[in-house]
Amino acid sequence: MTLAHWLERTARAHPELPALALGHSTVRRYDALANVAARLAGWLVEAGVGPGDRVAVISENRPELFETLLATWWRGAIAAPLTPSLVGDGLAARLTDIAPKACLVSPRAAAAVAAAMPACGARLAIFEGPEHRRALMSDPVPIASAPRSSAALLRYAGCDATSPGTLFSHHALMNISLSYLAEVDAATPRDAVLHGAPASEGGLFLALVALARGGVNVSPESGGFDAAELFDLAAGWRRATALADTNGLKDLVRSDADCDPTAFRTLLLDGDSTAPDEKTAALDRFGPRLAQAWGPPAMPFALCRLGKHDIAARGEAFWREKLSSVGRCFLMSRAEVRRTDGGEVAPDEIGELVAQAPHAAASYWNAPAATATMTTDDGWVRTGRWASMDARGYVALSDSSAEPLSPETASSAESRSKRSGELPRVRLRPPKNRPKRTR
């Protein structure tokens, strides 16, 4: 079972529901989306794309982006979405790393991609162009037979062309979606996801949630994040979810555009540095609709979460401390904060954050050295972050790099704390061989 089967299942259950929209207009219903995915997959067959091959997708937020991702999975290939802000040598390096058999791009990104294409020599189709129109008329093909453990997504975080990509299976992406549905927001058919934040990055995970539940993925006509546009779209679609990073949340809060907060079902915060005051300001404007999901590149959006109740529960004990954290682990995830020798630190002490989850990526793409240091000796994923965890399980990421406690430091700190009644302190300094952040 793959993500293409999710589309097939939803199309059978809700053929008449809107699946993709541009602004206020429905572009595809679910029955039409399944048909388009099958036809685009047929074009991929003609282009020589086989199971396990890569398909690069470079576009701002628009319906064709989602169609291409689904068609890639229908064919059994690996989708590699890239942000259109990546240009020049950085884009060429990414395409060389991906080595795609096909590349589908928006007109806005076409010039930059054409300049970088000699790096990979893939079959090129520009959305709305002649080759893309021909692809939409290709003969449909059945869903490729592939286990859910097969690779589905090659994800690069941000615009840093030097950081390695991370490979995720269908099984991992399904588990991330199901974790969100179980513990952040139990979305329902007809709910809308407003893709102001780049769908080629974090927005992809919310798109899969909509796919699983019969929701509609809405691309703003601007293709990007504009507070007034998102407020207008939410008013039209209702029961809307939007993803925002720290700067995006500030834009939403400070915008003087008219907004009906009840049009939103969820405002999902993507980021690990949003200050409590900023969350409080969002709570004041939008009410109890703010949630947060966080994870490192190896398990994005699916290690820790702050639920709507966590953020909205003013007056509860430790409320401000909760707002300063990235939350507690999802039920399918585990996290520990460790010393240099691998032992756990005491509550509230800083150490290296490591994690386990069935949806964690198994390796970095074309980066054996980075993959070799990706996990601890006992199999836990290194997140590349330094953090503390309180006695209730809330994880607070450190603003500074910190050296995890050694056994000797821990013993000395414990002795001092018993004498003074103070919490043990750790010395902050850049750690040795700190894993590169790719997010």
Q: What is the 3-state secondary structure (H, E, C) of 22-47?
A: ECCEEEEEHHHHHHHHHHHHHHHHHC
User: CA dihedral defined by 349, 351, 353, 356, rounded to 10 degrees?
Assistant: -90
Cβ neighbours of 196 (radius 10 Å): 25
Q: Are 292 and 323 in contact (CB under 8 A)?
A: no
Q: What is the pLDDT of residue 69?
A: 98
Residue 159: which pLDDT band, with cuts at 50, 70 and 90? low
Q: What is the pLDDT of residue 282?
A: 96
Residue-wise pLDDT for 400-428, tens only, equals 544 444 333 333 433 333 333 333 333 33
Round to whole Å and give the CA distance between 20 and 396: 37
Residue 287: which pLDDT band, with cuts at 50, 70 and 90? very high
201: tokens are 């990055």
Q: What is the pLDDT of residue 428?
A: 32
User: Which residues 6+ apart lie within 8 Å of 241 measured at CB?
Assistant: 185, 187, 191, 192, 193, 194, 206, 264, 265, 266, 267, 268
Residue 150 is given by DSSP the state S
Phi, psi of 50 (to 5 degrees): -115, 175
Residue-wise pLDDT for 366-397, tens only, equals 999 988 989 998 999 999 899 999 999 999 99
Q: Is the predicted pLDDT of residue 280 greater than 70, yes or no?
A: yes
Residue-wise pLDDT for 184-228, tens only, equals 999 999 999 999 998 888 899 999 999 999 999 999 999 999 999
Q: What is the pLDDT of residue 81?
A: 96
313: tokens are 């529960």
Q: What is the pLDDT of residue 340?
A: 82
Phi, psi of 163 (to 5 degrees): -80, 145
Q: What is the pLDDT of residue 201?
A: 81
